[in-house]
A and B are shown apart, each in its own frame.
Chain A
Amino acid sequence: ETGVTQSPTHLIKTRGQQVTLRCSSQSGHNTVSWYQQALGQGPQFIFQYYREEENGRGNFPPRFSGLQFPNYSSELNVNALELDDSALYLCASSYTLDRDGYTFGSGTRLTVV
């Protein structure tokens, strides 16, 4: 598999719970970004990791956190889930920090009830 893979594909959680979403970057890519896409909206940038360090963050509260591992895979963690966190979460990887487009995964559909 050379593309970006995300797991799980679907997830249902209860308000107040915590969730971890996972992403495997495309082979050769060292940068990973996470986006939240609410229904009917475009993706919104959550944060980006480069060489295991956070390298930019969007307007999301601290309960959204992430990790990047030495093999460039990544996790998105969301604590204290709220109903409004229900969305499609997209992972995107790239090789360089600038000028390249990103390769997106198929996303994880999170539903908070």
Chain B
Amino acid sequence: AQRVTQPEKLLSVFKGAPVELKCNYSYSGSPELFWYVQYSRQRLQLLLRHISRESIKGFTADLNKGETSFHLKKPFAQEEDSAMYYCGLKPQGAQKLVFGQGTRLTINP
């Protein structure tokens, strides 16, 4: 079975500090990993996916198959980064996303 774990339900950092949102997964095959973000009163939207290896809004995430992790990082947090973040896994050949429980990130001024 596939499983995504986000160990922190809440994370609070100061503006300008580095931020790391943890995501660990359990899956025996080759997954596709995603990060989705939900800003206040907005819909869930794709932030980035591991296959594109891009940086969006200063965020990056590297897939570590050895540690089965896909942590989301940003070197300098901004107040507008405050949001709910969900890590998602798409099993190979499957038509679904398996989400973690989410982490609520709060950036303090």
Q: Do A and B come from one complex?
A: yes
- Please list the residues of chain A having a beta carbon within 8 angstroms of any beta carbon in chain B: 3-4, 31, 33, 35, 40-45, 48, 50, 55-56, 58, 90, 97, 99, 101-107
Kindly list chain B residues whose C-beta atoms are within 8 Å of the C-beta of A4.
Answer: 43
Kindly list chain B residues whose C-beta atoms are within 8 Å of the C-beta of A56.
Answer: 94-96
Q: Known contacts being A40-B101, A99-B32, is A106 close to B43, with CB within 8 Å?
A: yes
- Contact pattern, B 86-101, Cβ under 8 Å of A = 1, otherwise 0: 1010000011111111
User: Residue among A102, A103, A105 with the most chain B CB within 10 A?
Assistant: A102
Q: Verify B43–A97 contact, CB threshold 8 A.
A: no
Q: Verify B99–A58 contact, CB threshold 8 A.
A: no
Q: Verify B101–A41 contact, CB threshold 8 A.
A: yes
Q: Known contacts being A48-B96, A58-B96, A102-B46, is A43 close to B101, with CB within 8 Å?
A: no
Among residues 57 to 109 in chain B, which have CB atoms less than 8 Å away from a CB atom of chain A? 86, 88, 94-102
Q: Give 23 pairs: A residue, B residue, CB < 8 Å, sorted on A.
A: A3-B43, A31-B95, A33-B95, A35-B97, A41-B102, A42-B6, A42-B88, A42-B100, A43-B44, A43-B97, A44-B99, A45-B96, A45-B98, A50-B95, A55-B95, A90-B44, A99-B32, A99-B51, A103-B46, A104-B43, A104-B44, A105-B43, A106-B43
Closest-by-CB residue of B relative to A97 is B95
Question: For chain B, which range describes its interface: under 10, 10 to 19, 20 to 34, or 35 or more residues?
Answer: 20 to 34
The number of inter-chain residue pairs (CB within 8 angstroms) is 54
Question: What 3 A-B pairs have minimum CB-CB distances, sorted nearest first?
Answer: A42-B99, A56-B95, A101-B46
At the interface, yes or no: B12 with Cβ under 8 Å from chain A? no
Among residues 30 to 63 in chain B, which have CB atoms less than 8 Å away from a CB atom of chain A? 32, 34, 36, 43-46, 49, 51
Partner of A101 from the list B4, B34, B94, B100 (CB cut-off 8 Å) is B34
Partner of B97 from the list A31, A97, A102, A105 (CB cut-off 8 Å) is A102
Q: Verify B95–A42 contact, CB threshold 8 A.
A: no
Kindly list chain A residues whose C-beta atoms are within 8 Å of the C-beta of B95.
Answer: 31, 33, 48, 50, 55-56, 97
